[in-house]
Structure 1
């Protein structure tokens, strides 16, 4: 059987399929963890410790000695994505009620959902697209997308917009495992490789644990909102990312469009932040469902749009090269044609 290959055919499948399995368990057997207890309960309720280990290992994978071109490209994309999410949060705080929309077509829409869906790029998806449609430097630009991983950036945006107040110790606690991993990975290349091997295997585990806190009824109720937010992520973050890639990054916009997705890891952030800030806890379930839907939708649409964009520029470049390579008619050939 090729279970892993089948899972990977689903965009973001390593995260989303275990999450849906966990959500099924929570929906139809909500007391299963308590019933079995011990390690089974720990696996079903261990989102935070599993994510802490994953965040540590993710930090270890970042190489400080990355080339200047890679840092410039990745820094441009990461900062643009974060800035756009911050602007959206500023606007949303003035338009949405503090507890989010509770009824109607946009049920579940909140500042928490918008920020967590918009501030993180799917680094694996980006790297894969750039391997096919970009340069090696552009493909390597996913190196700094790891900085977006975890709840820190979302916390900074929510704190800066006044949606929530985080004590300094909470910021330190959110980023400390990442920083320790980053330090060890750069002090010892063998440790970077050792911990880096854990990044992908841990994804299904925190996906399942996260799903065990989600009721499928919430996903059903927020389905339209999730689709709306997913499309908004592509449009609202994609346009500035394309412009930034062209103006600052020196690209043709393909890398910017490829970065206009929602990361699978972002699905965990609403619950983590909700556990830190009691007033955000009621919004966490719907924000998780919306972010998960946005992750799946952007993982499907972004590759299609990126391919179309890249092909358009490839056609333009081929046309320009053909025009430049066309042999100019010399005087003798013109004379033979009767022009002289």
Structure 2
């Protein structure tokens, strides 16, 4: 009997993260001792998020193509820099006015984790309709922002969080190893690609196993607000990204998304700076909610901007000319581009 559980999970927006996360939260709320048996059970399902994050970073690194050159490299670099700058400006403004606690129940850590991430899978899917090969190739560089590394760098440099250099290095080492190995061995890259769903499921479950259902309900409305903030930045990213491009595209608006795996970032940040541990549960629930909100809104936004660009594009001009092979009264219509 094959009930295709994985396929059903994939049909839910962000399902590979949201479903295991919620399942673990429910188990930890009503049957907390079930995951406290010790040994491999506890190591894998309750305290294994760090190990899973290391494997996840290795997998992310394997997808980075260091041989990518030309326009894809340029576009990927611009997209990455835009997300880093957005995070830096956010942490400066939110930190200055609100401090680590943030506003409306949204901690500055959650806000930065939201705005320094984006949904890479959704971006690739949108490229098939609204972009070209260079847009899709940009993900080879842009995917560096997957995982907590960029968030930790932004928080650490800003001084809002005390992120030791060793903690940043610990995030970078698996990424670099995966990048080198993936570029030297195509079969390893394929192996990583196939293993990624399993790693995400286990990591999501381990993080959810340290939270409770009360946190999810408390963070619900603030998570929606966080998602709307993230989606609104897509408008800014659309205009700013096109300043760097000769051929305009609507895909800049796709940066206004929150990656589903950003829900895993707060726990990693808090391991580096325990003073932020009190914000982890709420931030995790908020980011999971924001990822769903932006997953629904981003395609609509990108589609609207693409329609706007097409309306402004030069239209073919109809030119009527005499056909010398026929009587003067006969005419043919030819298209002539401006």
The reply to whether TM is greater than 0.5 is yes
Q: CA deviation at 1:123?
A: 0.6
Note if 1:207 corresponds to 2:241. Answer: no
Q: Which residue of the partner structure matches residue 296 of structure 1?
A: 292
Q: Is the 8 A contact 1:77 1:244 kept in 2?
A: no
User: Is 1:115 matched with 2:115?
Assistant: no
8 Å CA contact 1:44–1:208 kept in 2: the answer is yes
Any conservation in 1 of the 2:10–2:16 contact (CA below 8 Å)? yes
Residues 298, 251 of structure 1: alpha-carbon distance in 2 compared, 3 angstrom cutoff:
farther
Moved more, 5-14 or 64-73: 5-14
Distance in 2 of aligned mates of 1:83 and 1:70: 20
2:271 — aligned with what? 275
Deviation at 1:188, TM superposition (A): 2.7
Per the TM alignment, residue 312 of structure 1 is displaced from its structure 2 partner at its CA by 3.2
TM-score, structure 1 length as denominator?
0.88
- In 1, the alpha carbon distance for the partners of 2:224 and 2:19 equals 18
Instruction: Tell me the equivalent position of 1:325.
Output: 317
* Residue number in structure 2 paired with 1:168: 165
- 1:125 and 1:99 map into 2 onto residues whose CA distance is 30
* Offset at residue 299 of structure 1 (A): 1.0
Secondary structure, in 3 states, of the residue corresponding to 2:21? helix
Structure 1 contact 76–244 (Cα < 8 Å) conserved: no
The separation in 1 between residues aligned to 2:241 and 2:59, in whole angstroms, is 29
Structure 2: distance between partners of 1:120 and 1:249: 22
Aligned to 2:43: 42
SS of residue matched to 1:327: strand
Name the residue aligned to 2:336: none
Using CA pairs under 8 Å that are at least 6 residues apart, name the structure with larger relative contact order, 1 or 2: 1
**Aligned-pair CA distance for 1:168:** 1.6
Q: Distance in 2 between matches of 1:95 and 1:241?
A: 23
- CA distance in structure 2 between the partners assigned to 1:100 and 1:305 by the alignment: 27
Give structure 1 stretches of 5+ with no counterpart.
none
Name whichever of 268-277 and 179-188 sits farther off: 179-188
Bigger proportion of residues as helix: 1
Partner of 2:226: 229
Correspondence 1:7 to 2:9: yes
Deviations 1:61-104, CA, capped at 9 Å, x for gaps: 21111131111111111110110111011000112143445xxx
CA–CA distance in structure 2, aligned partners of residues 11 and 118 of structure 1: 19
Is contact 2:99-2:108 (8 Å) kept? Answer: no
Distance in 1 between the 2:51 and 2:246 partners?
40
1:75 aligned counterpart, secondary structure = helix
Whole-angstrom distance in 2 between the partners of 1:142 and 1:27: 38
Query: What TM-score, normalized to structure 2?
Result: 0.89
Q: Which residue of 1 aligns with 2:280?
A: 284
Deviations 1:7-34 (A, max 9, x none): 2222111111111111111222222211
